[in-house]
Amino acid sequence: MSELWKLSATEIAAKIRAKEVSAVEVAQAHLDRIDAVNPALNAVVQHMPDEALAAAAAVDADIAAGRDVGPMAGVPVTIKVNVDQKGFATTNGLKMLENLIAEHDSPVVSNMRKAGAVIVGRTNTPAFSLRWFTKNDLHGQTLNPHGANITPGGSSGGAGSSVASGMAAVGHGTDIGGSIRYPAYACGIHGLRPTLGRLPAYNPSGADRHIGGQLMAVGGPLARSMDDIDLSLRAMAVEDLRDPWWVPAPIDQGAFPRRAALCVHPDGMEVAPEIEIALRAAADTLAAAGWEVEEVDTPPLQPSADINAQLWLAEMRQGVDKLVAQEAEPDSQHVFAVMQSLSAPVDAGGLLNALRDRVTHLREWQLFLAQYSVLICPISGMLPFDQQADVQSEDGFKAIMRAQLTQLGLPALGLPGLAVATGSASGKPMGVQLIARRYREDILIAAGRDIEAAQPAILPVNPQ
């Protein structure tokens, strides 16, 4: 079997453009890899080999004719099943949506096609994309290639598992409470949550979201190298007028002070010793690369996490709660019930106050990030969770929520965050999170490259 599936997206695009390999060969190698490892992982839950090979053949034909094939020429990618892709069900992990066949592509799918990417499959998500674990009654449970006992993360757990195991070079994910950054962390790869408005988003098959989803949910890439994060971000971020939130901000915004802040315990959150070691090592790496690094306290994150819960649950209480009962999937019912117990319903005044307070906290963070170009902080306070740890007990779920403070606080602020893989610790993947001011993903990627340079290259892993 060809081992082209081991290559990065950047390497694949360059080789295809140079006619060293064909897009069809690359697509077939990744489809073969899916056949080889997906039965053990269940990351790809909607398969499309014929469509993938046809798209790859079109890339080869364009190259042969001298036509532009886009920056991701022939790169195999996966798309999460909670966004529309024409001809496939936008299930969001739900039995009730098993037959919701999209008639049009969402902007991210359209942009990936325009960039020359080849979609090789669609990846799993928990029911309602609600958890940091990936399991549902329609598609089943996704496993982590680093170990069946470790969550692959969620809600983009299928994306993380597919990229970490070499089924695709880039995975598309979405993040409203850590759903890109956490799967990247759990699967030992990189994951970028862009700024609100950076990537256009829209699902023609469904109704527009309420204000919480509009302000906090974004799409973004998961990949095994920073070059691939950069490449795929540029492809995904192209304008689509169907999303009124899209902002025409350039990705390259010029020089910035190489000044970083380190915060090991944001808002006093508890952090495992292995995570503190990784954070301090990343800070030392940046310092060795010429950054000025200062250990400081950040502005509060807990109030933003509370706003996240208020806005998210206010949206779910507008009818999604009835769908949770109708779907009758035990895990999402448990998680939704505990989440409701932790955040009381808000009336119209409470919602207005939350939106007002969001601006107050974002102002504090903007001023902080004007002093420091990048913040180094935990992705989570715990090592990647054991499978299904959130549904074992109510106290266990509450402990997980406390550990995910940085996952929850960032979306309410609309700031970009990057999960950077830094190896492993205690038999589990390890990583750190970088945060920058709005629309400065270029700073995150630059800092991420400096940290990445001190680590061994991330290669696809075989299921353990």
Amino acid identity at 413: L
Q: Which residues contact 82 (CB under 8 A, 6 or more apart)?
A: 90, 91, 92, 93, 125, 129, 155, 174
Radius of gyration of the chain (CA): 20
- Three-state secondary structure along 119-142? EEEEECCCHHHCCCCCEECCCEEC
Collapse the DSSP code of 405 into the 3-class scheme (helix H, G, I; strand E, B; otherwise coil) and give the result: helix
Among 189, 229, 146, 147, residue whose Cα is nearest residue 461? 146
Residue 206 DSSP one-character state: S
| CB-CB neighbours of 137 under 10 Å | 15
DSSP secondary structure, 290-337, as one string: T-EEEE-PPSP-HHHHHHHHHHHHHHIIIIIHHHHHHHT-HHHHHHHH
Residues carrying an active site annotation: 80, 155, 179
Amino acid identity at 57: A
